[in-house]
């Protein structure tokens, strides 16, 4: 049975395309990949004990659900990144305490910078810091 699947896949012109897809970033299974596997499975099933149509429907529903979850996860990740950028921008003009390499720096956030690689930093006293190191935020005119 495995030899039959291997020979039918070797004769298929999409085999190179599928093998190239396996090396793509994330190496996730797409709906086309699933349908290709399903077609091979149908073509090489035991004629005395064929798969039931409910099994095919269940498999397709599972892969569709997985694909939707992956898309949702990617969308939520993009949302979380943009939300983090918005929160960092809210630090502008605020007095912050930053813990950096064992030192405590206090100052007003003069600027928020976003590098080409997407990294966001806050500028305090002319120096850039990672916003994750901010331990306290207060209004600039309030003394504590």
Give domain status of residue 9, yes or no: yes
Say what the pLDDT of residue 17 is: 55
Q: Alpha carbon of 138 to those of 74, 75, 91, 101, 135: distances in Å?
A: 33, 32, 9, 22, 10
Which segment, 13-27, 29-43, 90-104, is predicted with the most confidence on average?
90-104
Residue 1, pLDDT above cutoff 50: no
- Spatial CA neighbour of 61 closest among 90, 103, 31: 31
Question: Edge-to-edge, what's the strand order for the sheet holding 95-100?
Answer: 127-129, 120-124, 103-114, 95-100, 134-138
Domain presence at residue 60: yes
| Residue 23 pLDDT | 52
- Residue 6 sits in the same domain as residue 69: yes
Nearest Cα residue to 33 out of 48, 44, 21, 41: 21
Report yes or no on 44 lying in a domain: yes
Give mean pLDDT, residues 51-72.
81
Whether residue 79 sits in one domain with residue 127: no
Regarding whether 98 and 75 lie in a shared domain, the answer is no
The reply to whether 18 and 63 lie within a common domain is yes
Average pLDDT over residues 66-74: 89
pLDDT score recorded for residue 91: 87
Per-residue model confidence as pLDDT tens digits over 93-122: 889 999 988 888 899 999 988 888 878 889
Does 123 lie in the same domain as 78? no
55: containing domain? 2-86
Q: What is the pLDDT of residue 116?
A: 84
**Is 20 inside a domain boundary?**
yes
Residues 102 and 41 occupy one common structural domain: no
143 located within any domain: no
Helix (H, G, I), strand (E, B) or coil at 31: helix
Residue 6 pLDDT greater than 80, yes or no? no
Structurally, the chain folds into a number of domains equal to 2
């Amino acid at each position: 049975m495995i030899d039959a699947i291997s020979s039918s896949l070797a004769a298929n012109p999409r085999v190179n395309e599928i093998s190239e897809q396996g090396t793509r970033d994330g190496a996730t299974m797409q709906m086309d990949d699933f349908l290709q596997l399903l077609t091979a499975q149908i073509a090489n099933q035991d004629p005395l004990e064929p798969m039931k149509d409910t099994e095919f429907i269940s498999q397709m529903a599972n892969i569709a659900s997985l694909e939707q979850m992956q898309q949702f996860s990617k969308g939520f990740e993009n949302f979380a990144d943009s939300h983090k950028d918005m929160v960092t921008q809210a630090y502008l003009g605020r007095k912050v305490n930053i813990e950096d390499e064992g030192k405590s720096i206090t100052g007003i956030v003069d600027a928020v910078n976003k590098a080409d690689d997407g990294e966001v930093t806050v500028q305090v006293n002319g120096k850039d810091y990672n916003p994750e190191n901010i331990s306290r935020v207060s209004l600039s005119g309030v003394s504590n």
